[in-house]
């Protein structure tokens, strides 16, 4: 059984499908089972049609949980994990809770896909389909090779994968040309409402109405525009979920550890990308989150 986190994106799907194809090449039977349906922008991925969103009562020898800091991140699949005799956790989140029987957690890896690549290297199994999946996962989790996790190892892997005649242009176009006009107008509204604290290098936005589920990853696009702001180092999106619930996403240019910030608020993730959910209204969330980041960054300055 192969699964990954809710709110599927490139690394979750890329690592799952590469793992599936690797196991098939080794003559193993494998099933991918996800909480969410696959966003249309990722339906170009090889073997994507094998992914299931429902399963009957079935037993598995092993469950491989990819790109999940915690088993609850698998959504409804969590209740199904007891159908497997042995759980393997393969992840790169620094906030991982070591929930499985075997925990392979490497926060230095750019992505779960990079970790699956290591398995392919070890087994000497690679082909165009696996390379396409791994490229997609690493590409998305490194923000197109622009985030702080873009290591020399990432480029070494890309060098190897490009030998398999994959097309970076096609993959980029598939992932980045799915924006609907209404999504773009929504993004424009958010950009229009950006708030900036120049002194503390914080840039954030409050979003009262997040659009109905779009296949396009609006969050990442907004962050990529926020990153253009001169001197900003921490980026925050505070989204209203319901009257007394907000979702907060954090990004950092690397100087501020936003895993620690998210952790303070009961969440987690990576040093440069994290998130949490809060039981409060959007104004309260803004006040407590932004003032915490101000205190946190000022504390860091003093300790330097």
Nearer to Mn ion, 16 or 141 (CB): 141
Min dist CB 56 to Mn ion, Å, is 29
Which residues are registered as beta bridge partners of 3? 65
- Shortest distance (Å) from residue 77 CB to Mn ion: 17
CB of 113 to Mn ion, least distance (A): 7
Q: Is 16 within 8 Å of 30 (Cβ atoms)?
A: no
Residue number, 15 or 132, with CB nearest to Mn ion: 15
22: which residues sit within 8 A by CB, 6+ positions away? 116, 119, 120, 123, 125, 130
CA 243 to CA 209: how far, in whole Å? Answer: 11
Name the minimum Å distance from CB 69 to Mn ion.
10
Cβ(284)–Cβ(263) below 8 Å = no
From the CB of residue 209, how many other CB atoms can be counted at a distance below 10 Å? Answer: 9
Residue whose C-beta lies closest to Mn ion: 11
Looking at the Cβ atoms of 73 and 201, the one nearer to Mn ion is 73
DSSP-based three-state secondary structure for 63: strand
175 or 246, CB closer to Mn ion? 175
C-beta of 132 vs 200, nearer to Mn ion: 132
Query: 60-66 and 84-91 as β-strands: parallel, antiparallel, unpaired?
Result: parallel
Structural tokens at position 166: 């994959």
Query: Which positions lie near Mn ion, rule CB under 5 A?
Result: 11, 67, 111-112, 141
CB of 9 to Mn ion, least distance (A): 8
Helix axes 218-226, 181-192, angle to 10 degrees: 40
């Amino acid at each position: 059984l192969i699964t990954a986190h809710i709110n599927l994106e490139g690394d979750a799907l890329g690592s799952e499908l590469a793992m599936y194809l690797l196991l098939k090449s080794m003559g193993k039977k494998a099933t991918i089972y996800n909480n969410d349906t696959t966003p249309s922008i990722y339906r170009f991925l090889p073997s994507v049609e094998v992914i299931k969103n429902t399963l009957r009562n079935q037993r598995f020898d092993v469950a491989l949980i990819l790109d999940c800091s915690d088993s609850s991140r698998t959504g409804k699949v969590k209740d199904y994990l007891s159908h497997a005799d042995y759980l393997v956790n393969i992840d790169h989140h620094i906030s991982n809770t070591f929930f499985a029987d075997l925990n392979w957690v490497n926060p230095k890896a750019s992505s779960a896909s990079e970790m699956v690549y290591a398995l392919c290297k070890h087994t000497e199994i690679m082909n165009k389909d696996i390379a396409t999946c791994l490229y997609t996962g690493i590409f998305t989790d490194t923000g197109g090779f622009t985030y702080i996790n873009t290591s020399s190892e990432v480029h070494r892997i890309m060098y190897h994968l490009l030998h398999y005649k994959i097309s970076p242009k096609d993959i980029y176009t598939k992932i980045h040309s799915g924006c609907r006009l209404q999504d773009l107008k929504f993004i424009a509204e958010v950009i229009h409402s950006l708030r900036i604290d120049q002194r503390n290098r914080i840039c954030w936005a409050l979003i009262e109405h997040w659009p109905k589920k779009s296949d396009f990853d609006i969050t990442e696009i907004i962050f990529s525009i926020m990153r253009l702001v001169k001197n900003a180092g921490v980026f925050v999106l505070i989204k209203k979920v319901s009257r007394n619930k907000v979702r907060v996403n954090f990004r950092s240019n690397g100087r501020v550890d936003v895993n620690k910030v998210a952790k303070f608020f009961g969440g987690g993730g990576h040093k440069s990308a994290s998130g949490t959910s809060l039981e409060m209204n959007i104004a309260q969330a803004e006040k407590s989150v932004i003032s915490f980041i101000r205190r946190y960054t000022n504390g860091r300055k003093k300790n330097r």
